[in-house]
Amino acid sequence: MGLARVFTATVLVGALVVPLAQRVDSPVGFAAAAPGGVPADGVSAADGGAAAAVARLYGHAVVVDSSTTETSQVEALPDGTMRLTEIVS
């Protein structure tokens, strides 16, 4: 019976410095949008750009589906950083 350890790292991703308005205009990565082209709120998004836009707009962490594996999870945070959580057994 091994103990699982969880490692969390927060990294700043240069692409997230792009103003939100530029991300909203781009349809890439947005599976659904509210009226007016604003990304819909959700707990996960297809890619980092979409997750960052939702996190910033709605003020909560959003899981990046394309970067999540069986042993790790990447989340976009409202402050523009990304958090990597890895589970090591």
Domain boundary assignment for the chain? 5-88
Structure tokens at 65: 């589906």
**Separation between Cα atoms, residue 49 and residue 42, nearest integer Å:** 14
Instruction: Tell me the pLDDT tens digit for each residue of 9-26.
Output: 554 444 333 333 333 333
Spell out the long-range contacts of 66-74 with Cβ–Cβ below 8 A and sequence spacing 24 or more.
74/48
Q: Which string of b and e fits 41-63 if b means at least 16 CB within 10 Å?
A: eeebbebbbbbbbbbbbeeeebb
Which pLDDT band holds residue 82 (cuts at 50, 70, 90)? very high
